[in-house]
């Protein structure tokens, strides 16, 4: 009983408060790669309770006000989902390619499909510290994580985000979210990832930061990484969301960790973070696992 209570309490904590192996992050502060040092620094700051500085709090409040409005809304939006669907449903490759249509409640998207505030804040801080020039997001939904990324870019005074969403009604909604927040740093492209990526990557690459937050399927995740990898800059960071979403995603993450192209990786429990330019075999651990 005590154990169950402890686990439930721990789940409620922000991710960085659950860091148990602080020494992993302390050691990463001496890593030769600037992006590994930056990520470790952000995690340590968050662990110590420091939040985003300067423009962060105001920008975050404005985004969370919009999320709260959407949560309270009874509006429904037409959804064509080209993703893997809920973890317990096994969609066929054919279904994912054709898309599954339904009406989706805005409140549910704001609540469950969008990244939780604590992860969005972590993204905000990472972008502030890494100062990427070009960012790419796969899976815009209603634009919450895109708004955090664009706000951090605005605070940096440089950089832009391209974000891709397959469902047209949802993509329009995301554009509206970004417009309401006055965030010209982000552009929403509408279409299936596999259709949009080839030309967009050629035209807009190389990318410094990529957030893969859609189509949580083992083979699709590997395919997107294969497509994107040639268009990454030398010091790129790729964030894979929901690496424990399903058995398939757990396998995808294991495969990615074993893949030399992912460089040095951080396993943040929900996110897998790959510093693709960080050389391995320098005697330091290449997989950083600060969580239990
Ligand atoms: C988890 S939501 C993204 C949440 C958003 N990044 C946030 O945190 O605010 C995933 C989105 O990806 C879109 N998506 C999934 N598979 C896709 C595909 N193959 N092509 C285009 N969009 C896709 C879905 O329609 C959905 O809106």
77-131 residue pLDDT tens: 888 888 777 777 778 888 878 888 888 899 999 998 999 999 999 999 999 999 9
The tokens for 17 are 């408060």
Question: Of 52-56, 109-113, 189-193, which range is least confident?
Answer: 52-56
| Confidence at residue 17, expressed as pLDDT on a 0 to 100 scale | 57
Express each pLDDT in 131-185 by its tens digit.
Answer: 999 999 999 999 999 999 999 999 999 999 999 999 999 999 999 999 999 999 9
Say how many Å lie between the CA of residue 136 and the centre of ligand 1. 13
Ligand 1 close to Cβ of residue 159 (< 6 A): no
How far is ligand 1, taken at its centre, from the CA of residue 3, in Å? Answer: 35
Residue 144: CB within 6 Å of ligand 1? yes
pTM of the model: 0.92
Mean pLDDT of the chain: 89
- For ligand 1, atom 7, the nearest C-alpha belongs to 114
| CA 63 and chain centroid, separation | 16
Distance (Å) from CA 83 to ligand 1 centroid = 7
Q: For residue 77, how many other CB atoms are within 10 A of its CB?
A: 18
Q: Please, what's the b/e burial string for 79-109 (b: 16 or more CB within 10 A of its CB; e: otherwise)? A: bbbbbbeeeeeebeeeebeeeeeeebbbbeb
Q: 17-61+110-288: what CATH class?
A: alpha beta
**Cβ of 82 below 6 Å from ligand 1:** yes
* CA–CA gap between residue 55 and residue 77 (Å, rounded): 32
In this prediction, residue 284 has a pLDDT band, given cuts at 50, 70 and 90, of low
CA of 137, closest atom in ligand 1: 6
């Amino acid at each position: 009983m005590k154990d169950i209570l402890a686990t439930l309490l721990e789940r409620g904590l922000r991710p960085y408060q659950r860091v148990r192996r602080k020494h992993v992050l302390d050691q990463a502060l001496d890593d030769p790669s600037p992006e590994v040092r930056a990520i470790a620094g952000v995690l340590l700051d968050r662990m110590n309770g420091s939040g985003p500085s300067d423009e962060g709090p105001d920008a975050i409040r404005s985004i969370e006000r919009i999320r709260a409005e959407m949560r309270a809304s009874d509006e429904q939006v037409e959804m064509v989902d080209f993703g893997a669907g809920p973890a317990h449903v096994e969609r066929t490759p054919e279904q994912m390619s054709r898309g599954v249509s339904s009406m989706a409640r805005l409140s549910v998207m704001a609540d469950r499909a969008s990244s939780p505030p604590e992860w969005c804040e972590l993204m905000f801080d990472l972008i502030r510290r890494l100062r990427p020039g070009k960012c790419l997001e796969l899976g815009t939904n209603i634009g919450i994580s895109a708004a955090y990324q664009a706000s951090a870019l605005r605070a940096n005074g440089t950089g832009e985000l391209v974000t891709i969403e397959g469902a047209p009604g949802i993509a329009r909604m995301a554009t509206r979210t970004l417009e309401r927040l006055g965030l010209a740093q982000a552009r929403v492209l509408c279409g299936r990832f596999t259709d949009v990526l080839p030309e967009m990557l050629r035209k807009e690459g190389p990318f410094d930061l990529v957030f893969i937050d859609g189509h949580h399927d083992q083979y699709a995740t590997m395919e997107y990484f294969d497509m994107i990898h040639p268009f990454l800059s030398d010091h790129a960071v790729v964030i894979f969301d929901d690496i424990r979403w399903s058995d398939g995603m757990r396998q995808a993450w294991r495969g990615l960790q074993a893949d030399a192209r992912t460089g040095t990786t951080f396993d943040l429990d929900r996110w897998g973070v790959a510093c693709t330019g960080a050389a391995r075999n320098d005697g330091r651990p290449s997989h950083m696992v600060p969580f239990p």
